[in-house]
Amino acid sequence: MPPLDPQAVMEKLGQTTLKVDTFFLRRTGFVANQTVLKLGEYTLHCVPATLGAEGARFLAVLTPSEIDLFSKFKAGTHTLLLTFDNPESKDIMRFPLKVGLTELNPVPDRKNVCFIQLKFKSLPAPFVLFLGAYFDELEARQKAWDKLAEDELPFDAAAAKRLGADPGFELSSGAQKWPVELVSFHTKQLTLKAAPGAAMPSCRLRLGFRGRPLVLEGALDNAGHFQPEFSTEWLDLVEDSVFQLKLRPNPEASKGAG
């Protein structure tokens, strides 16, 4: 249970930045396409990237002239409207938050796309407690991530069948791509065959399971070990594999029973 005191939650969150990813959307019911930022008489529709106790970062499509216009609103207090469709209570929650505009910067190599950085000036207690409840759930998933990194699992034909692996795993860095095979895995490491011999501090591994793509961001060492960033989707797959392994009959136990 998260602390019921909003101040205790704020202290626990500290400067933590929460990614608005698939897990966040699924667990909170965040209605991303209803995010509205009101700057004076203007209304901007933006897409959230991160949320925290101190501020938030968004993406918006703006022309250079619009960026110049809205940059004038860095002074003053504005309103950010966040909407959540609670998956448990089936209730719509809307939080109007008082914010300040701190940064408005174009995204490199993305035409008319810019980052909007906001600073929260005040947060209502229900929103703080809402963030705290999600943070507790995320912490539990991170503990499971650490626990499942203790044992390496072989990725053989049986494992591929259990997970419903699709063919065509691929490693990429920039415009370069390499087909790879998965040899073994746990949450924090995937051992690859046919990976480039050189280490890459930033690369991407594209996998596929049961017809659904899974892209992991991470780093590769020169021995072909890919260390992914924390991913609840990858964690779900590893948990599923471990669970199915536990359900398999134990041949040694069967012999003993006979």
pLDDT at 89: 64
Judge whether residue 10 has pLDDT over 90. no
Judge whether residue 242 has pLDDT over 50. yes
What are the tens digits of pLDDT across the range 208-228? 999 999 999 999 999 999 999
Distance CA 102, CA 246 (A): 51
Q: What angle do CA 22, 215, 88 make, to 5 degrees?
A: 15
pLDDT at 110: 85
Beta bridge partners of 119: 55, 100
pLDDT at 250: 56
The SS3 of residue 211 is: coil
Residue 247's pLDDT band, with cuts at 50, 70 and 90, is confident
Q: Read off the tokens for 135.
A: 């943070």
User: In terms of DSSP H, where are the helices of 203-248?
Assistant: 232-247
Closest CA to 123 of 79, 155, 93: 79
What are the tens digits of pLDDT across the range 83-116? 999 766 677 899 999 999 999 999 888 889 999 9
Residue 1's pLDDT band, with cuts at 50, 70 and 90, is very low
Distance CA 228, CA 162 (A): 21
pLDDT at 200: 95
What are the tens digits of pLDDT across the range 144-175? 999 999 999 999 999 999 899 999 999 999 89
Judge whether residue 249 has pLDDT over 70. no
- Domains of the chain in start order, with CATH, are 6-146 (2.40.10.220), 153-247 (2.40.10)
pLDDT at 197: 79
What are the tens digits of pLDDT across the range 194-211? 878 789 999 999 999 999
Distance CA 36, CA 56 (A): 13
Closest CA to 28 of 12, 56, 59, 51: 51
Closest CA to 137 of 218, 15, 232, 32: 232
Element holding 161 (H helix, E strand)? helix 157-163
